[in-house]
A and B are shown apart, each in its own frame.
Chain A
Amino acid sequence: MRSPILQSATKYLLPILLLFSFFLLLRGHYYPGGGFVGGLVASIAFVLHSFANGTEATMKILRRKPLSLIPIGLGVSTVSMTAPMLFGLPPMTGLWFEEPIPVIGMIGSSLFFDLGVYLVVIGVILTILFTISLNNLTEKD
């Protein structure tokens, strides 16, 4: 599956797809998209890269094990869930900044919740696929 064309294509595709996935995440509250879809698209980007360049190369780009994304994502979601409690509100109450931020739009706690979902989805899918493919490699040897 290692073709030079795919290898050089993924070099550009990876950042573009990642950007697209992030875009899906941010606009999820207003248009079709959101944490799940964004996370899935981002994982597809990494999987595509790993197909072209090998799983080890993708792992290098990630710098860390995808497994570590899971606790980070769960943590972000939990914090955004419980943050309203600091202000004496019941958990999961939506908190919003007064003014919209350029490009992104309105920012609220639910965006951070979605961000957590996004990270968990990436972590879960890459963990599953990369462990399997790394395992396949070791079995071949």
Chain B
Amino acid sequence: MLLAVLSGLIISLLIIPFGKLLTTKWSFLLTILPASLFLYFMSYVPAISAGSSFLQHINWIPSLGVDFDFKLDGLSLLFALLITGIGTAIFFYARTYLKGYIFFDRFFGYLCLFMSAMLGVVLSDNILLLFVFWELTSISSFFLIGFNNDNSDSRKSALTALSVTGLGGFFLLAGLILLGNIAGTYTISELIDARELILNHELYPLILGFLFLGAFTKSAQFPFHFWLPGAMKAPTPVSAYLHSATMVKAGIYLLARFSPILGGTDYWNYPLMAVGGFTMLFASIHSLFRIDLKGILAYSTISALGILTFLIGLGTREAIIAASVFILVHALYKATLFLVTGIIDHETGTRDITALGGLRKVLLPVSIAGILAALSSAGLPLTYGFIGKDLIYEATLHTDYQTLGWILNAVAIATNIGLVAAGFMAGIKPFVGTLPKQFENIHLPYKSMWIPPLILAILGLVFGWFPGPVGDFINHATANAVYGSETDMYLKIWHLNIVLILSVATLLAGTLVYFVNKPSPSKLKAIEKLNSIAPQRIFRGYANDIMRFSRWYTDLFHNGYLRSYHLKIILFAELLLAYKLWISGPITLDLEKITTPSFYEIGVIVILIGALYIVVTTPSRLTSVVAMSVIGYCICLIFVFYSAPDLAMTQFTIDTLSTVLFVLVLYKLPSFINHTGKAILYRDGIIALSFGVIISLIALRVWSEPISEEIANFYGENAYILAKGKNVVNVILVDFRGIDTMFETVVLSIAALGVYSLIRLRLKSTEKE
């Protein structure tokens, strides 16, 4: 199983170096990956149907409780089959869809990465591992949405999707860690045993809240649904794969996976029913007013996800079975509709349903697929969708809640009426009616594009006719995994009861809505206003504010003028140092420590200050250099007075050489120009003086503290005994701290080489000219 999960990752890594070899001709090799994985998982079907499950354990980071724990049970297997099965169709389809695209290899890299991550999510038995893969799906989704990276809309949508799902992921992690800490284990199979402990813990509602946030953001539940329509900017195969069939169902998977651990309480049921119920109705109404085919599909997907959330929230046996059937039903017809939309878009260049019509004349097999999928989505008898819908109604009818049950049933019916109409709009509308003139020359695309949706659509029909084998599997395996006990309900093609009547009524009403409702841009605009209830606007506004703030901040701090950077740094340093001085209390001066300066010492310092004044004020370059050397010599004298002969000699020679250096270089440059106004000069003067005062105060403070002479005495005592030297300064330099000196000479050498090469470089460039 580890290999099955990681194979996609490995292939996507291999695509980095070998991607360019991947022409469309050879890309069929890639489809082997999902296909073989599909077969691999198929081989588990008999065993899983019989009720067994498979575990694999490989140590990864045992100290953190993160291990490669994989578990294959009914629920995982259903998802794994969906991921690899629909993945195979998508891989086939995308090869032709993206033929000749420059980032062809990159696309398949992301797709493999995503498949791998998604398999990881559904197979992980360790919640932290699950989280890692969870985030990986968000990341690959980000890359795929922003695949047309030269389009700013794409980038924006990708970022929105990433930030919404990333935010949810953040909460999810918090929830999972809390959960793991309370239960003392991070393994899902063991968490089930700790159910009582978790349910009675005071943090249980908080954990649920975090978990729901993660699931709702991922599965686009209201009010986080807004990222999904934006995600339709991705290439259509991606929308079909990630944003309808698999990734968005990760949130549903999470809820289903955790319902035996956390579910069955009021805290669990009511929020899920409320959010799911509202989302499904809201999105289903919305989908009726879309004119973009992908927009319709996006909203009907949100609605379907709402139904799933709602069913899991309902939590009864029927509801779980309905949910597991509906996952498969929805994946089959929605992927088909997306792929059909992709073909229409690819061939006609538009997805505007008001402009499309009559395409059955030119795209016959595609129209068959589309119409079959639409019928399945409408829940026509003898399609798989019918069984799905049937079960949903049955689930809402057979609840413990008396009046609430009827309300729920009404909501479900209203939602389904909308979905029927939306399905017709997306799957039938483009193919019926008269064919506009400009589309007459359209021809059928290469067969690898229309065969996958056709197969998926026909599967929807086959499952509907023979619910037995599929039903058995889903019944026993999936529902058992979620519900936790044996279920013995069998899927039937027909029910002759109130449920059937409701189904037929829904179908009729939906068809009526389809004929009555004529979507138009003006209606779209009106319904779009409804969306402003959602935090989309807050989110966008927040993003804009951050952008504005960072622009303002950048302008303020990075204006490109070195002196203004200096100014800010110095001001900040002043504030910090002044604060530090302030809190460190008053300075006490030991007057006895102060020595009286002699006459010549005062003289030297006065000269020094005078030279300093000249350096600061002089307009002449040469004068300032001379004044600088005066300063240097005065400092040299200070060293002489205070027992530092080595320093004095060094300062003296260096000062001489510096002056030579300045004269050599600077005599050519023009004299200083004064650009700055008086006010700024005063401002800088005040800042500079206060900096000086602060440094003086710090010096005073440090100086007034007693000095530790330990180190000095060590050197004094050992200079001759250990190093046979009597000039302690020199002994420190060449012996005690010899390595420092060594590196100092290296630094000097680098400076010399730098000077040498700077000048040489210049000579060469002038020679070239």
Binding site for B on A (CB under 8 A): 24, 28-37, 40-41, 43-44, 47, 67, 70, 73-74, 77-78, 81, 92, 94, 96, 106, 108, 110, 113-114, 116-117, 120-121, 123-125, 127-129, 131-133, 135-136, 138
Select from chain A the residue with minimum beta-carbon distance to B733.
A34
Select from chain A the residue with minimum beta-carbon distance to B735.
A110
Tell me whether A40 and B657 are in contact in the complex, defined as CB-CB below 8 angstroms, given that A117-B741, A121-B748, A124-B749 are known contacts: yes
Distance between B557 CB and nearest chain A CB, rounded to angstroms: 36
Query: Which one of A33, A128, A138 lies within 8 Å of B727 (CB-CB)?
Result: A33
Question: When each residue 717-730 of chain B gets 1 if its CB lies under 8 Å from chain A and 0 otherwise, what string results?
Answer: 00000111111011
Residue numbers in B under 8 Å from A81 (CB-CB): 738-739, 742
A30 lies within 8 A of B763 (CB): no
Residue numbers in B under 8 Å from A36 (CB-CB): 650, 733
Select from chain A the residue with minimum beta-carbon distance to B646.
A32
CA–CA, A32 to B735, complex, Å? Answer: 15
Surface stretch bound by A, among B19-27, B334-342, B659-667: B659-667
Residue numbers in B under 8 Å from A92 (CB-CB): 735, 738-739
B725 lies within 8 A of A30 (CB): yes
**Residue B609, interface by CB 8 Å:** no
B657 lies within 8 A of A47 (CB): yes
Residue numbers in B under 8 Å from A34 (CB-CB): 646, 727, 729-730, 733-734
B733 lies within 8 A of A127 (CB): no
Distance between B41 CB and nearest chain A CB, rounded to angstroms: 64
Question: When each residue 753-769 of chain B gets 1 if its CB lies under 8 Å from chain A and 0 otherwise, what string results?
Answer: 10110011011000000
Q: What are 25 A-B pairs with beta-carbon distances under 8 A?
A: A29-B734, A30-B725, A33-B649, A33-B727, A36-B650, A37-B649, A37-B650, A40-B654, A40-B657, A70-B753, A81-B738, A81-B742, A96-B724, A108-B724, A110-B738, A114-B734, A120-B748, A124-B751, A125-B657, A127-B755, A128-B751, A131-B755, A132-B759, A135-B762, A138-B763
A128 lies within 8 A of B749 (CB): no
Residue numbers in A under 8 Å from B661 (CB-CB): 128-129, 132
Tell me whether A44 and B755 are in contact in the complex, defined as CB-CB below 8 angstroms, given that A70-B749, A110-B723 are known contacts: no
B763 lies within 8 A of A135 (CB): yes
**Residue B606, interface by CB 8 Å:** no
Select from chain A the residue with minimum beta-carbon distance to B719.
A29
Tell me whether A37 and B646 are in contact in the complex, defined as CB-CB below 8 angstroms, given that A44-B656, A81-B738, A127-B752 are known contacts: yes
**Residue B745, interface by CB 8 Å:** yes
Select from chain B the residue with minimum beta-carbon distance to A119.
B745
Task: Give the interface size bracket for B toward A.
Answer: 35 or more
Query: Which one of A33, A41, A78, A132 lies within 8 Å of B664 (CB-CB)?
Result: A132
CA–CA, A33 to B180, complex, Å? Answer: 69
CA–CA, A31 to B645, complex, Å? Answer: 9
Query: Which one of B741, B751, B759 lies within 8 Å of A135 (CB-CB)?
Result: B759
Tell me whether A43 and B734 are in contact in the complex, defined as CB-CB below 8 angstroms, given that A67-B756, A124-B752, A131-B759 are known contacts: no
**Residue B731, interface by CB 8 Å:** yes
**Residue B587, interface by CB 8 Å:** no
Residue numbers in B under 8 Å from A32 (CB-CB): 645-646, 649, 727, 729
**Residue B653, interface by CB 8 Å:** yes
CA–CA, A77 to B743, complex, Å? Answer: 10
Distance between A39 CB and nearest chain B CB, rounded to angstroms: 9
**Residue B444, interface by CB 8 Å:** no
**Residue B746, interface by CB 8 Å:** yes
Query: Which one of B665, B727, B751, B755 lies within 8 Å of A30 (CB-CB)?
Result: B727
Tell me whether A41 and B653 are in contact in the complex, defined as CB-CB below 8 angstroms, given that A32-B646, A110-B735, A117-B734 are known contacts: yes
B733 lies within 8 A of A94 (CB): no
Query: Which one of B654, B729, B752 lies within 8 Å of A70 (CB-CB)?
Result: B752
CA–CA, A116 to B738, complex, Å? Answer: 12
Select from chain A the residue with minimum beta-carbon distance to B755.
A128
Distance between B499 CB and nearest chain A CB, rounded to angstroms: 90
